[in-house]
Amino acid sequence: MAPVDTDRVHVLGVRHHGPGSARSVAAELERIAPELVLIEGPPEADELVGLVGELTPPVSLLAYVPAEPARAAFWPFAAFSPEWAALRYAAEHGVRARFCDLPAAHTLAEDDRAEGADGKGEGGGAGADANLDAKRPEHGSGGGAPEDGTTAPDGAESAEQEPGREVADPLGMLAEAAGYDDPERWWEDIVEGRAAVPAGSSPADAGAHSAASPFPAIAEAMAAVRAEVGAGPDGPAGLREARREAHMRQVLRKAMKSVDGRIAVVCGAWHVPALLDHPRVSEDTALLRGLPKTKVAATWIPWTHGRLAAASGYRAGVRSPGWYHHLFTAPDRPVERWLAEAGRRLRELDQPVSSAHVIEAVRLTQALAALRGRPAAGLEEVADAAESVLCEGARARAHLLHSRMVVGERMGAVSADTPQVPLQRDLAAEQRGLRLQPKAEPRDLDLDLREETGRRRSALLHRLGLIGVEWGRPRGDSVRSRGTFRESWTLAWRPELELALIEAAVWGTTVEAAADARVRSLAAEAALPDLTALAERCLHAELGGALDAVVSALTARAAEDADIEHLMAALPPLARSARYGDVRRSDSAALRGVAAQLLARVRAGIVPAVSGLDDDAAAAMAGAIDGVHRAAVLLGGDDEAAWLAALERIAVRESAPGRVCGRANRILHDSGRLCDSDLSGRLSRAASRGTPPTRTAHWIEGFLSGSGLLLVHDTALLGIVDRWLNGLGADAFIEVVPLLRRTFGAFAAPERRAIGDSARALGRYGEAGAASAGDTVDARRAEPAVAAAAGLLGLAAAGAEAGG
């Protein structure tokens, strides 16, 4: 090993996304004034460094394989990331900055090779806390460990530890040596809190508090840990980490030859000893020889604090990005400022929080820090004080406040000069034109489709959904499913949607063209139910050309498909589109014709299709019948009448399951095709002694599915059910109770209560209820009411005269 000249090369070991590290990096760069800054990250992004001054963090570098955009990795940066502090320093001082990590061209290609071998990416090297940059995901590093998008475009990491390797945690080892049981708390006390000025400090004290550089101590600590756990290809960090460090050293050697002045290297603390002591060049060359390579493109994309949080699954994430952002942007009196902001937010929620509350909360944080032996109050003390004083012990309110402030959700922005695929630029133009800017915080959007802007916004959201960019999600029922002029959406822009846009760029250069091409591709392979749903989505997205292609495929597929279940599943969305397509001024005549054909085929095949079904199949068929009935109602006219006639045949068919027969009878009754007396007769036959109890229970279940109010208003039907239950033997009763419990348990509580009241009335007044014919009237109890009614009607005198 040969040590480097530390007077010329300054290696700054950091914890990714640490405000204390970021502030220390900025101060150290000001002190050493380097000619070149090397930063841990993919070298493919070197040409993007010049855009740093135009970006608003949080942002992320995105490296992807153009031929297969799903193979990608992210390198996020926040305002409090040390690497971002280095990039900002270089931009503001005109200093050259480059990335020095292993190229993404190798790491993404390695994933390809590993997946070809065993179906998944090889395990990432490991050895340390990801924020110190030894326990790495499988795609390079930088800006805090990258998020792996290879197998999950949403950025979830998929790397695993190499088999047989024990993972060492340098942060945990150092914390344990210092007597801490929580590595996060130790790091915050030692590093992150060092630049935070304690309350009451003078400017001179504040300067002394943060003047000493932490980097020599960090380098010494990491050297001790690496010596303890071992390093290199055979150590716990593995071959991948050794290759990364070999490439960093090669970049550093070249920089030392090309630059006369000082060089600053900003990297994960774990790598510092490897960059201060260099092996022979031949050893590094051997490690890097034969690495696979693929073509990679890189760009900047917006990021969010939510995706920087460890709770999101990001391996190098921090517990509290909002708190860290606050520590970085408010170095003086951070606790006081944080609690003042908490008080302001509570007042916005109409909570009585005064300045006295805030003062007492600050005092409590100081007392808690002293009791817990901490050098300064941290997030735990602030959270406890906010709950106890500001929220007056209301834990739920404190948790809501704390969670919002701790994450501190915010979304970054990139400049117009950032490299983008044409589809991204078209979407950005659409967003500006419709005044619909992407934001990380979920927000509700209500659209009026009678207005031009509302229709255009709706069409854009539906088109994005068709190409897999789920910016907006319908709120409540499916949008416009009832033919209204309103749509309700929830919008939330997530960073991984940028990658989804890049993936969708293969379909076209504009959102409309990409959605059109995507629909045509789906239509070529979709099954019949999927085709009808696709037709409905085309109407929502106002894709007339694609709709014609879908209708053509739908007509051909409907003529070939003989599966009655496919036909029944395909009909409801098609009928909705045929009925409500004109809400968007779309011509849906062709859809109506296809829907009528499908309904005719369902009518022809429904009667034999319901015979011989088991319980599960009968339940599915009853649900399908409901869907077809709603579709027939939407089509109306002769189509609805013919469908009800088909249900008439099912309602009296002995071979049909009880649940299907009961459902058919309920639909006929609700449609006015079955009068109360006929319905009572059918229920009586279904509940007769000659019918198996389970069939009767299924009949009742199908009949009452969705609503039991009919039994409340029709005591004759309730009496039939009551007599049937009273006549069951013990074994039969035990057999049907679970079925009836499932039926009545699905009703709302007020419905069950009303049915119970009606059942009790049967026991008091007779089988058919108090108002039924044949009830015995208590003349004595009725006499006052009769006299009062006669008096109101002027019949009392006449009655007296007649009596006289």
- Of residues 696 and 558, the one with the higher pLDDT is 696
Instruction: Give per-residue pLDDT as tens, 690-717.
Output: 778 888 888 788 877 777 667 777 777 7
Average pLDDT over residues 179-196: 69
Q: Is the pLDDT of residue 113 over 90?
A: no
Task: Provide mean pLDDT across the span 45-61.
Answer: 93
CB 181 within 8 A of CB 169: no
The confidence band for 208, taking pLDDT boundaries of 50, 70 and 90, is very low
Please name which of 212, 218, 217 lies closest in space to residue 271, comparing C-alpha atoms.
Answer: 218
Please check the confidence at residue 776 and state whether its pLDDT lies above 90. Answer: no
Instruction: Tell me the pLDDT band of 204, cut-offs 50, 70 and 90.
Output: very low
Which pLDDT does position 613 carry in this prediction?
Answer: 84
The yes-or-no verdict on residue 91 having pLDDT over 90 is yes
Q: What is the pLDDT of residue 9?
A: 94
pLDDT band at 588 (very low <50, low <70, confident <90, very high): low
Which of residues 247 and 16 earns the better pLDDT score?
247
State the pLDDT at residue 196: 46
| 3-state SS assignment for residue 263 | strand
Q: Is the pLDDT of residue 774 over 70?
A: no
Return the pLDDT at 619. Answer: 85
pLDDT of residue 458: 92
3-state secondary structure (DSSP) of residue 340: helix
Q: Grade residue 112 by pLDDT with cuts at 50, 70 and 90.
A: low
Assess contact for 32 and 264: CB atoms under 8 A: yes
**Candidate ranges 42-56, 527-541, 592-606; pick with highest mean pLDDT:** 42-56
Q: What angle do CA 324, 328, 329 make, to 5 degrees?
A: 115
Average pLDDT, the chain: 80
Q: Is the pLDDT of residue 163 over 50?
A: no
pLDDT tens digit sequence for 596-641: 878 888 888 888 888 878 888 888 888 889 888 988 888 888 888 8
Residues 266 and 98: beta-carbon distance below 8 Å: no
pLDDT at 341 over 70: yes
Q: What radius of gyration, in Å, describes the C-alpha atoms of the chain?
A: 36
Q: 774 Cβ partners below 8 Å, 6+ apart?
A: 766, 768
The number of beta carbons lying within 10 Å of the beta carbon of residue 754 is 17
Identity of residue 207: G
Please state the rounded mean pLDDT for residues 673-682. Answer: 81
When mean pLDDT is compared across 282-296, 317-331, 414-428, 780-794, the lowest value belongs to 780-794
Mean pLDDT across the stretch 366-378? Answer: 88
Q: What is the mean pLDDT of residues 317-341?
A: 89
Give the pLDDT score at 234: 60
**Cβ 61 vs Cβ 46: under 8 Å:** no
Least confident of 260-274, 291-305, 370-384, 751-765: 751-765
Mean pLDDT of 337-343: 93
430-489 residue pLDDT tens: 999 999 999 888 999 999 888 899 989 999 999 999 999 999 998 865 444 445 678 899
- Tell me the percentage of the chain whose pLDDT exceeds 90: 30
Confidence of residue 763 (pLDDT cuts 50, 70, 90): low
Q: How far apart are CA 355 and CA 340, in angstroms?
A: 8
- Report the pLDDT value the prediction gives residue 193, as an integer from 0 to 100: 58
Strand, coil or helix: what is 72? strand
The closest of 102, 112, 109, 113 to 136, measured between CA atoms, is 102
pLDDT, tens digit (0-9, with 9 covering 90-100), for 485-530: 788 999 999 888 998 999 898 788 899 999 999 999 898 888 888 8
Residue 342 has pLDDT above 90, yes or no: yes
Residue 460, H or E segment:
helix 452-466
Determine the average pLDDT of the residues in 310-321: 81
- Going by C-alpha positions, the residue among 50, 37, 41 that lies closest to residue 415 is 50
**pLDDT above 90: residue 11:** yes
What residue segments make up the domains of the chain, in order of their start?
2-304, 333-407, 422-507
Cα distance from N-terminal residue to C-terminal residue, the chain: 133
